[in-house]
Structure 1
Amino acid sequence: MRVLFFLLQKEFKQIFRDKALLPMIFLAPIIQLLVMPLAADYEIKNINIAIVDHEHSTYSQKLINKITASGYFVLSDYDNSFNGAFEQIESDKADLILEIPKNFEKDLSREGSQKLFIAVNAINGTKANLGGAYLARIIADFNAEIRLDWRQQSIASNTQIIEIVPSNWYNPLLNYSYFMVPGILATLVTMIAVYMCALNIVKEKEIGTIEQINVTPIKKIYFILGKLIPFWIIGNVVFTVGLFIVAHLIYGIVPLGSVLLLYGYLAVFLVVILGIGLLISTYSETQQQAMSLAFFCMMVFMLMGGLFTPIESMPEWAKIIANLNPVTYFIEVMRMVVLKGSQFADLKKHFLIMFGFALFFNTWAVLNYKKTN
């Protein structure tokens, strides 16, 4: 144990001596956690819409006002010609076209129905789908308002109406940052642990000090623990700063569940991630190789971990990869504990899976690490 103490002392001195490494460990995650939730917004706003109004009636003006007042659409063009509006799409000044036909109000009042034409620029599929869905919903609401106005007060009073009152659990205000910040924090902790652990060991190879350590009587297990424990502690510090300073003070996020439960899961998760970093270092001879492998792993962790895309919407082959991704479970646990207040009984499966990952990756890394006594 005395040998381990000296190794840890050496590692911390080596880490804090590197002036370029400290901002990367502590400052970069804070800046990323401040900026990324603001950019990763699931809501599509400022959708440019060109409206072709052949009617210029009271109803058409009410519909246009309802669309522009929704907060999702910006009126980029108001024209009498579809060709003119289509030029707006061709020049990327408009995302949708809404064409209101002649006699819109007259036919709607007389026949009880009327058709509107919507053209969507589908180059950006996500924006097209959501923009079209928003517009269809606004038109449906407008239609319901018109039907209600047509009813006589006496008839309307006797009509049975089903009222829907939504109740949003866990995130009542539908604040997207409450959903994104826990997931981004989990990803940033993963990034720091993987990169720092892998690069630290490979750096020893490049400067030649690992050869000196290999010929000493230091046991392999002590050497590996000396490399893993400092970054395990740093991972906890980064997580604490992100959870209690950035998430709480900046975004007002307060975990509904047990903070100790979060740290318990984090402790096991960091063992898994540091094992992956150690495994990368055993296959790398230079820091460039380690960074390339770590970058590949991080891209898989981020894109297949459910941070931006729900796992349920992925194809079956992608779901298999996601289920083999440790970050998937940590992001899920973060959201469950922070937003839902889940308890240990709800996370038993997640703990067992993470223990399995820890045993697998660290055993692989230790067996693959060659040390000569």
Structure 2
Amino acid sequence: MIKFLIEKEFKQLLRNSFLPKMILIFPCMIMILMPWAANLEIKNINLNIVDNDHSVLSRRLVDKIGASTYFRTTALPDTYNEGLRFIEIGSADIILEIPRDFEKNWVTGNSPRLLVAVNAVNGTKGGLGGSYLSSIINDYTRELQSESPAKAMSAGMGLPRIGISTQNLYNPHLNYKLFMVPALMVMLLTMICGFLPALNVVGEKEVGTIEQINVTPVSKLTFILAKLIPYWLIGFIVLTICFFLAWLLYGILPVGHFVTIYLFAVVFLFVVSGFGLVISNHSATLQQAMFVMWFFMLILMLMSGLFTPVHSMPEWAQLIAALNPLKYFVEVMRTIYLRGGGIVELLPQLGALMAFAVFFNLWAVRSYRKSS
């Protein structure tokens, strides 16, 4: 019986001229565009430099900042107040003011001061931009000290200093795409295997074909499996396409095994499809199901650690995130891709996903009302 129901679902899917194309094009567009758009690296920061000294050292500093990929020098105003007007009209993010006696103070052994004024309307951009600029200035200071060690010694700067060597584990080049791409795969599986089956069931309610199923001897479990299995297969195809695109476009391959990813994906598909069926069972119209599904999807995605780490959230938000199944699968994908974690290391996430799968699917079976 289930074989014919699955065949019906595939025929119904293929008869739709738009849906099969969207299922294939949607993941490709997400994998191509989102890793570039959903990027928390701050670049192309508009910088205005007010050089009151016009000396060799100040010119070298301006050139060093201009060589950075993070800043774009948009103007060289004559005064600080003129630079502020550029910030007010939105054409500048940061102002660097070099004082008149910058080179003189350095040559005489004094500590020259620089003014960095940051537009902090966008707190993230302002904070990171100011930090980048401070790092460049500190690096420039070390260059000057190495060029004149005698003067640095006389100024008390030649004392032994503790050297710091930084090693970035698991992502040595700080490639943000390596952090985002695995999480985007989770979002795609959620949309395709959670959203579409729910809308499919509600669509049959609206056109009345589900009433014909209800008067047949088909059990609730058989009907639900017939609805889900086609989208599970599509989900695995989409996941495989994402693996290929991640390797082809960004050179990203998991440190761990693909088998581990597919194993967790099976459990996760049970979770999101069961959740989608719960919503469809309690929705009377397609419009209602779409609004409810979008409401939950938006919250689940934002609370999954897609953009910001869950541990950086307030404690009350972390408690809410603990009830989010997407959080656990995002942790699984990033662990396997970045650190090569195995099943033993990911047992807590596996247990949480299995608990969600049992809960949502039992709820879906019990809430589906079938009259025979």
- Secondary structure of the corresponding residue to residue 97 of structure 2: strand
The equivalences for 1:265-284 within 5 A come to: 265-284=264-283
The equivalences for 1:79-228 within 5 A come to: 79-152=77-150, 160=160, 162-228=162-228
Give the Cα separation in 2 of the matches to 1:201 and 1:274: 12
User: Does structure 1 retain, via aligned residues, the 8 Å contact 2:278–2:363?
Assistant: yes
- Secondary structure of the corresponding residue to residue 369 of structure 2: coil
User: Does structure 1 retain, via aligned residues, the 8 Å contact 2:256–2:340?
Assistant: yes
- Secondary structure of the corresponding residue to residue 76 of structure 2: strand
Q: CA deviation at 1:187?
A: 0.7
* Counterpart in the other structure of 2:247: 248
Q: CA deviation at 1:168?
A: 2.4
* Counterpart in the other structure of 2:259: 260
- Does 2:360 correspond to 1:355? no
Q: Deviations over 1:234-257 (max 9, x none)?
A: 1111111111x2111111111110
* Counterpart in the other structure of 1:303: 302
Relative to structure 1, is the Cα distance of residues 182 and 214 closer, same or farther in structure 2, using a 3 angstrom cutoff?
Answer: same
The equivalences for 1:31-70 within 5 A come to: 31-70=29-68
- Does 2:293 correspond to 1:288? no
User: Does structure 1 retain, via aligned residues, the 8 Å contact 2:109–2:151?
Assistant: no
Give the Cα separation in 2 of the matches to 1:353 and 1:309: 21
User: May I ask how many residue pairs the two structures share in their alignment?
Assistant: 369
Instruction: Give TM-score scaled by structure 1 length.
Output: 0.95
- Secondary structure of the corresponding residue to residue 279 of structure 1: helix
Q: CA deviation at 1:159?
A: 6.4
Give the Cα separation in 1 of the matches to 2:189 and 2:148: 58
Cα RMSD, aligned residues only: 1.8
Give the Cα separation in 1 of the matches to 2:38 and 2:236: 25
Give the Cα separation in 2 of the matches to 1:321 and 1:27: 33
- Does 2:327 correspond to 1:328? yes
- Secondary structure of the corresponding residue to residue 346 of structure 1: coil
Q: Deviations over 1:202-230 (max 9, x none)?
A: 01101101111111111111111111111
Relative to structure 1, is the Cα distance of residues 67 and 154 closer, same or farther in structure 2, using a 3 angstrom cutoff?
Answer: closer
Give the Cα separation in 1 of the matches to 2:270 and 2:356: 9
Give the Cα separation in 1 of the matches to 2:84 and 2:338: 44
Give the Cα separation in 2 of the matches to 1:135 and 1:323: 38
Q: Which amino acid aligns with 1:94?
A: A
Instruction: Give TM-score scaled by structure 2 length.
Output: 0.95
* Counterpart in the other structure of 2:344: 345
Give the Cα separation in 2 of the matches to 1:48 and 1:154: 33
Q: Which amino acid aligns with 1:55?
A: D
Q: Which amino acid aligns with 2:182?
A: P
Q: CA deviation at 1:266?
A: 0.1
- Secondary structure of the corresponding residue to residue 327 of structure 1: helix
Which range moved further: 137-146 or 185-194?
137-146
* Counterpart in the other structure of 1:5: 3
Q: Deviations over 1:182-207 (max 9, x none)?
A: 11111111111121111100011011
Q: CA deviation at 1:153?
A: 10
Give the Cα separation in 2 of the matches to 1:15 and 1:91: 52
Q: Which amino acid aligns with 2:291?
A: S
For structure 1, the 5+ residue unaligned runs are: none
Between the aligned residues of both structures, percent identity stands at: 48
- Secondary structure of the corresponding residue to residue 344 of structure 2: helix
